[in-house]
A and B are shown apart, each in its own frame.
Chain A
Amino acid sequence: MKLNMKLKLRPEYVLLVAVFLASLASRLFVAFGTPNFSYDAYFQLGQVESIRATFLPSFSRLFYSPHPFMPLFHYVLAFFSLFAPLHAVLKVVPNILASSSVFLAYLVSFEMTKDKAAALFSAASVGFVPVFIFSTANTLSPYALAVPLMLALVYFFLRIGENRFVALFVVFLFALVFTHPSALLFVSGLLLYVLVLYVLGAKSSRSELEIMLFSVMASIWIVFLFFKEALLAHGFSVFWQNIPGDVLAEFSGFSVFDAVFRIGLLTFIAGIFVTYRYVFEERRRDVHVVISLSLMVLALLALKLVKLDAGLMFLGVFLAVMSGEAYRSFFEYLGKSKAARMLPAVSVLLASVFILTSVAPSLLYRQSQSGEVPTSGELAAFEWLKNVSSEASVVFSDVNEGHLVVAVSGRRNFVDSNFLLSHDIGQRLSDMEKLYTAKSQITALQIMDSYDLSYIVVTDRALARRNVLSLSYVASCFSVVFEGEDTVIYEPLCRVSS
């Protein structure tokens, strides 16, 4: 039987796949720049291992306080690890997921512009938003799945009038909600869209309103279910994640220079141009959806309700999606003007600017990420604890090394970078600093007793961060049980009470 099928290899599809591969390659280049993952990635790694072992994530086991989170991303990684070695899956799969944003950006942009070249430009811009690569290439961040899901939802929303996209929207919305609470950003962006249309004197379609009501209800309810304890404990302050004031710098306001560097010059300018044009001069519902999402991110950034990197990442992706419209308008204008003959030169110039301000920073990150990744010496120390210490041990480490204690050593940690449900985080962080800087042995032993600490892990980085050469109080009552190239582990020999 002869197959009556023609597979058309359209040039735009070939180019799109090339963009996807280029984006993936640059991500893998960053990810494989170091054999290890970033410090916080070890939380995700521990969860994937827990799912592989028990089919369930671990919300509280071994953590100093319960750590609620949305587990879909971890299930996805655990699923892929059935077919390939875990380390390879963790390095490659999140990057494939994040790079798939390229296809979705193409679809959204094409829906807005009906122009293949413009859509390709958007796809390339999304594939190389520097902050998106920094935040997801080697961090095992759930954003690697959340961003493409969000772009897919935008596409389905634009085509919600067609029945087949309704079911897809519902399924993808649930997927997004179970991946990351940033689903709330998406639904609040949609609400802003209705408001923007109302202000501009237009009306949303009935289907849009219906799907939006459903989205608001679904995402709020599921997020409330998962984070109920945190919401009851902190109320509206939950957005600040119980982070003590002095650590809250992560949420600090952003500068335009910062935004341009992390989002990419061309993407930034093009996105801002489209926003300006469609807010003040022209009206197009499809463009307004993405503009509303961008404005919502900006509002959250301004109110310091979102971490700087996460906020800029979403902003960068949305501006990149809109940049296709700017590209289309610009080249349409140029083609009609007297400067039409300069079109090739302008194209080369724009491509160069894009490579310099978007592609190059993404690739250069490979070198600068070393400070955010544990060294092999540090990992060896935590591995040693896993083999030698008793299972009931509580291990002291610096705040960013806390996830290593749980994921690598399999022991209870003293503190880590998730503060959400800690009732005494201020006290803990203050005691942590005291243990690094105390002069008195009594003070150190009192702190160790009050938290029932079994070991102190001291890395060179933790000491350097505090301008300390070594612990001053470890002369008599502490023994060195492990000494690596950049990490020492102490065990207390006495107790204050005894």
Chain B
Amino acid sequence: MIRRGAGIRMREAGCGLARLLFVALLAAALLMLLAPYAYRALFTDKPVLFGEETYYHVRIARQILQGAIPASDALIYNSRPYFFGPFHVVLAYLSAPLGITLASVLLPVLLGLLSLAFFYLVLGRFGILGAKRLLICALLVASPAFISTFSQPNPHALAILLYLSGFYAILRRQVLIGFVVLVATLLFGLFNSLLLLVLLLAHYTVQDRKKLVLLSVFSLVFISAAAYYLLGLGAAIPESSFGSLVSDLGGNGFGIFTFILMAAGLVFSWKERYGYVIPYCLLLFLSTYVFFNGGFAMAYLGFVVAVFSGLGLYRIASAGWNLPVVKQLTLLLIVCGLAFSTVSYVGRLANSGPGAEVVSSLSWLREQETGLVFSHYQNGFWIEYFSGKPVLLDGFLVNDLRKRYGDMQEILYSRNIERTARLLERYNVKYIYIDESMKKGRVWWNDDEGLLFVLRNREYFRKVYGTMQVQVWEYRKE
């Protein structure tokens, strides 16, 4: 009896310590997510909100706050239908008492902390406990994908929370609540419907095969419904490359050490592969999606990668090594390497655009006559937000994307004035907006390339705004 009592007390003490460590991890996550904002507010003259897509969501939330849910987005050539997204509504409602900027900062951070908590609980349900669970969560918090997703307002932050909380409810056998929450994720787009299908199929393949057939029919009905009106719309322009996966190579994914640890985790977990069917299926689906479509799926992939890299790190740290000195050195390197990737990424976010020059130039443009602004599509959201003028393309899909994207490229790279003028006429372009990033490799390297060369023609173009970093040209129609 005495022994048993001591064991229970020890277990309780262990649980207490684990909880305490988890609270510390939540605090670390909070600091990590707020760090870019703090840096921008205290040490730079840049606007507090950063990122490109951020300004789209803030603009839509502001429109909802000011009136009703918009039917279309007029700040893009030929306008784009707006499909209802729950994130914008939540952001709008939170903005009413807090103001749009504060709400845009706090909402993703709050969603991140809640997601982390549910992730912690889900891991527990799978029997991943103690140091292993804490390591996985710590690696998640340190991953650039997590920081990127939950430090900027975006719908995926809310979708992830819904997945985790819904799935946790299902694991706790509160199936109805779980399904209701999970079904809400269908409102986020076709990708989310597919992800839900993969998640549930993987889960019921392991748990209960009888429910599998029912689930498949149920899911297909929902996916068909979702596909009907969400197909492709509202999703970002795909930009896939392996480099964008690696944060140390300028991407938004994961540090190089996380990849090495993940590889180790995959090798080590293979012996117990039947216990990891769900993360394997999600890894396969998400990495395929990231490879072909890039971008936003990284937010979801971050959780799966954290599972495997955490397993890898746990195994490396807990196993007995033939060369103990090498083990200590390796662990030291891993900690330093992970910290380096994280700090470096947070610094990059803090220094990312838009800069003060971009804001002042676009605010100036707001005061000018209305007209379509041509620029690189990655500047689109900023132009829409700060100047209130329509653009040819922004980061989201449009119906005639291929043609419009091709024409944008043609205008940017052609040195033929007649061809450029014809395309500018076709889209009724009035202003051409060029910033530093376009001249430093995003579009051109040399000042006599493509459009930069064509702009020398005074007959067609007039510079109406110019600083070291930004130029705005007016196109004089024939």
Which residue numbers of A lie inside 8 Å of B, CB to CB? 160, 166-167, 170, 206-207, 210-211, 213-214, 216-218, 220-221, 224-225, 228, 231-233, 235-236, 238, 423-427, 430
Contact A214 B337 (CB under 8 A): no
A-binding segment of B69-77, B246-254, B283-291: B246-254
| Minimal beta-carbon separation of B437 from chain A (angstroms) | 11
A217-B333, A430-B446 known; A232+B326 contact, CB < 8 A: no
A-binding segment of B202-210, B301-309, B315-323, B395-403: B315-323
Binding site secondary structure of chain B = helix
Instruction: Write out the residue numbers on chain B whose beta carbons fall within 8 Å of the beta carbon of A235.
Output: 241, 243, 246, 249-251
The docked-state distance in angstroms from the alpha carbon of A211 to that of B333 is 13
| Minimal beta-carbon separation of B47 from chain A (angstroms) | 23
Instruction: Write out the residue numbers on chain A whose beta carbons fall within 8 Å of the beta carbon of B251.
Output: 235
Instruction: Write out the residue numbers on chain A whose beta carbons fall within 8 Å of the beta carbon of B242.
Output: 236
The docked-state distance in angstroms from the alpha carbon of A231 to that of B337 is 15
Contact of B323 among A211, A216, A236, A238 (CB under 8 A): A211
Contact A217 B257 (CB under 8 A): yes
Contact of B445 among A160, A170, A424 (CB under 8 A): A424
Contact A217 B340 (CB under 8 A): no
Contact A236 B249 (CB under 8 A): yes
Decide yes or no whether B199 CB sits under 8 A from chain A: no
| Minimal beta-carbon separation of B309 from chain A (angstroms) | 13
Instruction: Write out the residue numbers on chain B whose beta carbons fall within 8 Å of the beta carbon of A218.
Output: 329, 333
Q: Which residue of A lies closest to B348 (CB)?
A: A232
Instruction: Write out the residue numbers on chain B whose beta carbons fall within 8 Å of the beta carbon of A427.
Output: 445-447
The docked-state distance in angstroms from the alpha carbon of A160 to that of B326 is 12
| Minimal beta-carbon separation of A297 from chain B (angstroms) | 22
Q: Which residue of B lies closest to A427 (CB)?
A: B446
Further pairs besides A232-B348, A233-B441: 10, Cβ < 8 Å:
A170-B329, A213-B330, A218-B333, A220-B256, A221-B333, A233-B250, A236-B242, A236-B249, A423-B445, A427-B446
Contact B445 A221 (CB under 8 A): no
The docked-state distance in angstroms from the alpha carbon of A207 to that of B256 is 23
Q: Which residue of B lies closest to A174 (CB)?
A: B329
The docked-state distance in angstroms from the alpha carbon of A224 to that of B338 is 12
The docked-state distance in angstroms from the alpha carbon of A478 to that of B227 is 71
Instruction: Write out the residue numbers on chain A whose beta carbons fall within 8 Å of the beta carbon of B336.
Output: 221
The docked-state distance in angstroms from the alpha carbon of A216 to that of B251 is 21
Q: Which residue of B lies closest to A235 (CB)?
A: B243
Decide yes or no whether B217 CB sits under 8 A from chain A: no
Contact B325 A166 (CB under 8 A): yes
Q: Which 7 A-B pairs have the closest CB atoms?
A: A235-B243, A427-B446, A235-B249, A217-B333, A221-B337, A214-B330, A207-B322
The docked-state distance in angstroms from the alpha carbon of A39 to that of B161 is 60
Instruction: Write out the residue numbers on chain A whose beta carbons fall within 8 Å of the beta carbon of B316.
Output: 213
A–B complex contacts, Cβ < 8 Å, 20 sampled: A166-B323, A166-B325, A210-B321, A210-B326, A214-B330, A214-B333, A216-B260, A217-B260, A218-B329, A221-B336, A228-B248, A228-B344, A231-B248, A232-B249, A235-B251, A423-B440, A424-B446, A425-B445, A426-B446, A427-B445
Number of A-B contacts (CB under 8 A): 84
The docked-state distance in angstroms from the alpha carbon of A236 to that of B251 is 11
The docked-state distance in angstroms from the alpha carbon of A424 to that of B446 is 7
Chain B interface residue number, banded: 20 to 34
The docked-state distance in angstroms from the alpha carbon of A225 to that of B249 is 12
Contact B248 A224 (CB under 8 A): yes
The docked-state distance in angstroms from the alpha carbon of A217 to that of B241 is 23
| Minimal beta-carbon separation of B336 from chain A (angstroms) | 7
Contact with A along B248-275 (1 / 0, CB 8 A): 1111000011001000100000000000
Q: Which residue of B lies closest to A224 (CB)?
A: B248
| Minimal beta-carbon separation of B360 from chain A (angstroms) | 24
The docked-state distance in angstroms from the alpha carbon of A170 to that of B326 is 8
B residues 199-250 with Cβ under 8 Å of A? 241-243, 246, 248-250
The docked-state distance in angstroms from the alpha carbon of A263 to that of B233 is 59
Contact A206 B257 (CB under 8 A): no
Contact B250 A232 (CB under 8 A): yes
Decide yes or no whether B334 CB sits under 8 A from chain A: yes
Q: Which residue of A lies closest to B334 (CB)?
A: A217
| Minimal beta-carbon separation of B340 from chain A (angstroms) | 7
B residues 2-19 with Cβ under 8 Å of A? none
The docked-state distance in angstroms from the alpha carbon of A66 to that of B445 is 18
| Minimal beta-carbon separation of A49 from chain B (angstroms) | 31
The docked-state distance in angstroms from the alpha carbon of A213 to that of B248 is 19
The docked-state distance in angstroms from the alpha carbon of A207 to that of B326 is 10
A217-B334, A224-B248, A235-B243 known; A207+B323 contact, CB < 8 A: yes
Q: Which residue of A lies closest to B333 (CB)?
A: A217
Q: Which residue of B lies closest to A213 (CB)?
A: B330
| Minimal beta-carbon separation of A169 from chain B (angstroms) | 9
Contact B326 A211 (CB under 8 A): yes
Decide yes or no whether B415 CB sits under 8 A from chain A: no
B residues 408-460 with Cβ under 8 Å of A? 440-441, 445-447
Q: Which residue of B lies closest to A426 (CB)?
A: B445
Instruction: Write out the residue numbers on chain B whose beta carbons fall within 8 Å of the beta carbon of A210.
Output: 321-323, 326-327, 330
Q: Which residue of B lies closest to A218 (CB)?
A: B333
Instruction: Write out the residue numbers on chain B whose beta carbons fall within 8 Å of the beta carbon of A220.
Output: 256-257, 260, 337
Q: Which residue of B lies closest to A423 (CB)?
A: B440
Contact A224 B243 (CB under 8 A): no
Instruction: Write out the residue numbers on chain B whose beta carbons fall within 8 Å of the beta carbon of A224.
Output: 248, 256, 337, 340
Instruction: Write out the residue numbers on chain B whose beta carbons fall within 8 Å of the beta carbon of A232.
Output: 248-250, 348
Q: Which residue of A lies closest to B259 (CB)?
A: A220
A207-B323, A210-B322 known; A221+B340 contact, CB < 8 A: yes
Contact of A217 among B248, B325, B330 (CB under 8 A): B330
The docked-state distance in angstroms from the alpha carbon of A221 to that of B321 is 22
The docked-state distance in angstroms from the alpha carbon of A210 to that of B246 is 24
Q: Which of A207, A216, A217, A427 has the most CB of B within 10 A?
A: A217
Q: Which residue of A lies closest to B330 (CB)?
A: A214
Instruction: Write out the residue numbers on chain A whose beta carbons fall within 8 Å of the beta carbon of B340.
Output: 221, 224-225
